[in-house]
Amino acid sequence: MKAKVAIVKCKNYERIEVEQAVKKAFDLLGGIGVFVKKGERVLIKPNMLSARMPEDGVCTHPEIIRAVVKSVRGCGAVPCIGDNPGGSISPAKAYEGSGLALLAKEEGVELKEVKGIKVVNGIPIAAYFFECDKIINLPKMKTHSLMGLTGAVKNMYGAVAGLHKSELHKRFPSAEEFVKALIDAFEIVKPSLVLMDGVVSMDQAGPAAGRLRNTGFLIAGTDSVAIDSVFAELIGMKPLDILTTKEAYKRKLGEADLENIEILGEGIKENLVNDFNVPGKPGLITVLGPYAKFIARFIKFGPDIDERLCKKCMICRDSCPVSAVTVNSENSAIDLKKCIKCMCCHEVCPHKAIELKRNFLAKVFGL
């Protein structure tokens, strides 16, 4: 049986527009009632990277979350909202800064915080992920400085609590190692339903400092790997060029072959996003064969702090898994000899003060 993925137009975040689009997306899949039953406890898991307001396009928009809360309640189920921001930012601060605290107050819905950790196969997961009957995953359509794209699969890494994320980066410093831990987390907390916020997406220096794009659609389905594969196709990439998709597909956790994915609603060709700039997009280095390792020695890239934008908030310093960041009144700097290129500092900086510096060869090879 083919995986089903729905693409639905949603031009903006006006409440009525969003509610109609969310309902249409779920209806194309058979209706929300197919997935959520009366009396169930349903955890709604957004992308709440940090304390960034909705207009920044970093976190899943509150109106998308509101529409899903209402849909879940309409089934007689009990919704709650939960996510763990990156680095040293507390969930409470992120809920407040992202507009979710206000949403929760208006809708009378519980916001989950970490009160315990459950370690499964070496992965520390916030305990509340195991206290619900269903998980609905609400990722944001964005690029990612380490993984290339962050979509439905990557978003479930938010189940790993706080600084435990940084510790996993320390244990698995390369992208090829880290993706295995990331997919371990996804497999533990695999969601029942996914709705991707692609109304406004982000390319270039995502997931927090990129360029906002008015892409104008939602993507829904039950197969996270299939949704990320459709995401890749929409921006002109091959699904298996995305490390998270490749690893999850290898483990048979979802479908990445477009021949085995049924597209419902809008078509892919009609919604292609032009010039979607992805960091790490496969370049010439992929065809250099035996010369690749030699040339890789001359490729230099890494995070760099722009002193003009740095607010000395210490979030990057406190989030670095290898203590490579120094921030004080006189200087803000990253020791690239210590740096493991996990890009956590770039991801959590709320002021866009950390940029990725690349030498000429890094730019040539799409890094």
Looking at the fold, whether 252 and 299 belong to one and the same domain comes out as: no
- Whether residue 278 is contained in a domain is answered as no
Tokens 């919604």 found at: 271
Going by their DSSP bridges, the two strands 134-138 and 41-46 should be labelled as parallel
Give helix 62-74 / helix 15-28 axis angle, nearest 10°: 50
- Whether residue 194 is contained in a domain is answered as yes
| pLDDT on residue 285 | 40
Which of 53-62, 75-84, 99-108, 141-150 has the lowest average pLDDT?
Answer: 141-150
Task: Please tell me whether residue 25 adopts helix, strand or coil conformation.
Answer: helix
Domain with 317, as residue range(s), is 284-364
Which of the listed residues 271, 303, 328 is the one where a domain comes to its end? 271
- Whether residue 276 is contained in a domain is answered as no
* Residue 279 preceded by cis peptide, ω within 30: no
pLDDT band at 66 (very low <50, low <70, confident <90, very high): very high
Mean pLDDT of 63-78: 98
Q: Does the structure show a pLDDT above 90 at 357?
A: no
- Whether residue 224 is contained in a domain is answered as yes
| pLDDT on residue 319 | 87
Looking at the fold, whether 302 and 264 belong to one and the same domain comes out as: no
| pLDDT on residue 284 | 41
pLDDT band at 286 (very low <50, low <70, confident <90, very high): very low
CA–CA gap between residue 227 and residue 220 (Å, rounded): 7
Higher pLDDT, 273 or 296: 273
Mean pLDDT of 332-343: 86
- Backbone conformation region of residue 31, classed left if phi is above 0, alpha if psi is from -120 to 50, else beta: left
Looking at the fold, whether 243 and 140 belong to one and the same domain comes out as: yes
Cα angle 321, 172, 189 (rounded to 5 degrees) comes to 95
Q: Does the structure show a pLDDT above 60 at 362?
A: no
Looking at the fold, whether 80 and 213 belong to one and the same domain comes out as: yes
Higher pLDDT, 89 or 333: 333
pLDDT band at 293 (very low <50, low <70, confident <90, very high): low
CA–CA gap between residue 88 and residue 72 (Å, rounded): 31
- Whether residue 229 is contained in a domain is answered as yes
- Whether residue 232 is contained in a domain is answered as yes
**CB 225, CB 180: distance < 8 Å:** no
Q: Summarize pLDDT for 193-236 with one digit per residue, the tens.
A: 999 999 999 999 889 999 999 999 999 999 999 999 999 999 99
| Mean pLDDT, the chain, whole residue set | 90
Q: Cβ-count burial of 87 within 10 angstroms (0-12 exposed, 13-18 middle, 19+ buried)?
A: buried
Q: Does the structure show a pLDDT above 70 at 50?
A: yes
**CB 134, CB 104: distance < 8 Å:** no
Task: Please tell me whether residue 65 adopts helix, strand or coil conformation.
Answer: helix
Looking at the fold, whether 12 and 100 belong to one and the same domain comes out as: yes
DSSP string, 208-272: TSSEEE---EEEEES-HHHHHHHHHHHTT--GGGSHHHHHHHHTTSS---GGGEEEEES-SGGG-
Looking at the fold, whether 263 and 293 belong to one and the same domain comes out as: no
Looking at the fold, whether 307 and 200 belong to one and the same domain comes out as: no
| pLDDT on residue 163 | 78
User: CATH number, domain at 350?
Assistant: 3.30.70.20
Task: Please tell me whether residue 96 adopts helix, strand or coil conformation.
Answer: helix
Number of structural domains found in the chain: 2
Token reading at 280 = 């790490």
Task: Please tell me whether residue 281 adopts helix, strand or coil conformation.
Answer: coil
| pLDDT on residue 356 | 76
Looking at the fold, whether 291 and 166 belong to one and the same domain comes out as: no
Mean pLDDT of 121-149: 95
CA–CA gap between residue 251 and residue 243 (Å, rounded): 12
- Whether residue 59 is contained in a domain is answered as yes
Looking at the fold, whether 154 and 293 belong to one and the same domain comes out as: no
Which of the listed residues 243, 271, 299 is the one where a domain comes to its end? 271
Full-model pTM:
0.88
Looking at the fold, whether 65 and 129 belong to one and the same domain comes out as: yes
CA–CA gap between residue 7 and residue 196 (Å, rounded): 10
Looking at the fold, whether 177 and 260 belong to one and the same domain comes out as: yes
Mean pLDDT of 144-165: 91
Q: Does the structure show a pLDDT above 50 at 288?
A: no
CA–CA gap between residue 109 and residue 90 (Å, rounded): 19
Other CB atoms within a 10 A radius of the CB of residue 259 amount to 6
User: CATH number, domain at 168?
Assistant: 3.40.50
**CB 367, CB 358: distance < 8 Å:** yes
Which of the listed residues 250, 271, 292 is the one where a domain comes to its end? 271
Q: Summarize pLDDT for 22-45 with one digit per residue, the tens.
A: 999 999 999 999 999 999 999 999
Residues in the chain: 367
Looking at the fold, whether 85 and 229 belong to one and the same domain comes out as: yes
**CB 137, CB 156: distance < 8 Å:** yes
pLDDT band at 281 (very low <50, low <70, confident <90, very high): low
Q: What DSSP state is assigned to residue 160?
A: B
- Whether residue 277 is contained in a domain is answered as no
